[in-house]
A and B are shown apart, each in its own frame.
Chain A
Amino acid sequence: MSGVLVVMEQRGGVLNRMSLEALAAGQALAAMVGGECSAALLGTVGVAVSGATKVYSVEHALLKDYTADGYVIALEQLVKKLAPSYVVFPHTYQVRDFAPALATRFGQVLISDVTGIHAGPVFVRQLLQGKLNADYKQVGNGPCFVSVQAGSFRADAAGAGDYIAAEVFVPELSAAQIRNKPGELFRESAQTVDLSAAPVIVSVGRGIGEESNIAMVQELATALGAELAASRPICDNGWLPMERQVGSSGQTVSPKLYLAVGISGAIQHLVGMKGSKAVIAINKDEHAPIFEVADVGVVGDLFEIVPELTKAVVAAKG
């Protein structure tokens, strides 16, 4: 057994950015442990990949639409055939749905949501909503399965090199093995709020405590001419509509200013906003992970600071 196999994801024939980041992680890992970095794609024919030693196109009519059963069965066969030491995935919602089951078939545990890889190899991931980091190691025998968090590896370096002609792999798969029937993808309603275009965003999190306090943050947003956004718990509670949610399940934003009010900064939120040019964070907990990505931080009571800030902004604009 040797080498690294990166399982990439495409939609409509286009590789997503996280797949290129996973390829970059796979290349780094291959350089560390020795061996080649290959790539595999499932479903559609004709996606060109570069930057891998070999590319496998896993093709079957039953893989056209994603199902966990189809992907697990097909990849189990491919991994058995290629016998890589490491199998690397992007940590997408699709991967979360099938990769743990695939690892189980090999008696292994997926090391999920990895943000860094060090010599060993040691895989770094976050614990407790980003409050702590942890080093994980594989101790079992067999392929080591790893999924890589968005934004942790640089995609721009990964695709370099000539496009590789894919070798076709046809798994043995029958319709009776696929238990779930997937429907078409859909969006709830036409999104009327495009946060990705907003130059200034004021975003509110759990620290706001109660729905009635949202108005105070709205006033600050209005004073700044900013869009109001939120972390997931605020939208889960129905205090703001889902379309104002920033993070992996919401919108990805990169404004000139992201002002985070009472947001602790779980990784699912950070991946949606860490491309912001400037981040200012106000939080009562000095250890909140939001301060790791903030340019300017204020540890304090948002109920005292936000009204003062609104007043000062209005006065400055006067």
Chain B
Amino acid sequence: MKILVAVKQVPERDAQVHVAADGKWIDEGDLSYTINEPDAYALEEALQLKEKHGGEVVVVCAGPERVTSTLREALAKGADRAIHIEADDLGERDTLGVARMLADAMKGESPDLILTGLQSDDLGLGQTGVVMAELMGIPHATLIMHVEKTDAGLKVKRELEDGWFQHVEMPLPALLTIQSGGNKLRYATLMGIKKAKTKETKTVSAAAAGGKAVSLERVYLPEKQKKTEMLTGTPAEIAAKLVEKLKFEVRVI
């Protein structure tokens, strides 16, 4: 099975973010970046499918030069090849523009299966995978916890709300968006890191950004929904203040 995995590079979760001077995005100056966590689970699922059924795993990422570090890490974990779609203007493209760029790069590969994370940790729109499937004319399923290959195609386990699940059968080629938690993520081994240096990364340039359907006008700090009373002091003082609250205000002691 030839599996393509679309991954995104996003700011580290713990990163202190600041709104950029133009108010339209965050200051990228001293941010550190990492693989989008749901995409890491998509990569893991792809690697496990390859280990079971053979084939090839190709990892694809769009973005500026810095995203090659995320591609190298995926190669070190076991992906066979990488495709870097060089684009310095992701912010100028909406979901449809980004999905089109990824779909264009993937079409020539004729994959059996495309995997990606269910959403990104930065924009969180949760749509790129579904839009790619629509553009490529292949079936999709979202929020997938488990993938099983069958004679006819795939049987996948979809997560629904409130602890409910559903199995869905579908033909190949197909696209799945992977939910976190279905697998345990692996670390790159020293051997893997060494091997990654010999693996191919193809660089393709992105087509110019077209028109947009939606635009991000402004980013800003959220307003507080509640007036929060902040407690300060030594840990012992804070503990004492909290106990007072638990006793006399919340009344749970």
Contact = CB atoms under 8 A, between A and B. Distances in A.
Interface stretch (B10-18, B47-55, B59-67, B78-86): B10-18
A237 B180 CA distance: 9
B216 A180 contact: no
B17 A97 contact: no
Contacts of B225: 292-293
A124 to B, nearest CB: 9
Interface string B111-141: 0000000100111111100110111000111
A296 interface: yes
Contact of B253 (A113, A139, A232, A316): A316
A131 B11 CA distance: 12
Given A186-B166, A292-B224, A296-B229, 7 more contacts: A97-B140, A122-B217, A181-B170, A184-B166, A237-B181, A298-B238, A313-B253
Contacts of A187: 163-165
Contacts of A297: 228-231
A101 B235 contact: no
B169 interface: yes
B127 A110 contact: yes
B216 A134 contact: yes
Interface of A: 68-69, 72, 92-94, 96-98, 100-101, 103-105, 107-113, 122, 125-140, 142, 179-188, 191, 199-200, 206, 224, 232-233, 235-238, 242-243, 248-252, 256-257, 264, 267, 277-280, 285, 287, 289, 291-301, 304-305, 307-309, 311-313, 316-317
A132 B26 contact: yes
A68 B220 CA distance: 34
A163 to B, nearest CB: 27
Contact of B160 (A103, A134, A185): A185
Given A132-B219, A183-B167, A300 B238 contact: yes
Contacts of B124: 113, 125-129, 267
**What size tier do the contact residues of chain B reach?**
35 or more
Nearest to A123: B214
Contacts of A224: 246, 252-253
Interface string B154-195: 000001111111111111000000011100100000000000
B243 A130 contact: no
B127 A100 contact: yes
Nearest to A277: B250
A304 B235 contact: yes
B212 A139 contact: yes
- Chain B interface SS verdict (over half): mixed
A233 to B, nearest CB: 8
A313 B243 contact: yes
Nearest to B94: A109
Nearest to B242: A309
3 A-B pairs with least C-beta separation: A236-B181, A140-B213, A100-B127
A257 B242 CA distance: 12
B21 interface: no
A184 B165 CA distance: 9
Contact of A186 (B164, B226, B231): B164
Contacts of A291: 224, 228, 230
A145 to B, nearest CB: 9
A111 to B, nearest CB: 6
B214 A97 contact: no
B96 A104 contact: yes
Contacts of A248: 161
A136 B181 CA distance: 31
23 contacts: A93-B160, A97-B140, A100-B131, A108-B213, A122-B217, A132-B220, A133-B222, A135-B217, A136-B214, A139-B215, A142-B213, A179-B171, A188-B163, A238-B184, A250-B162, A280-B245, A291-B228, A297-B230, A300-B238, A312-B239, A312-B243, A313-B246, A316-B246
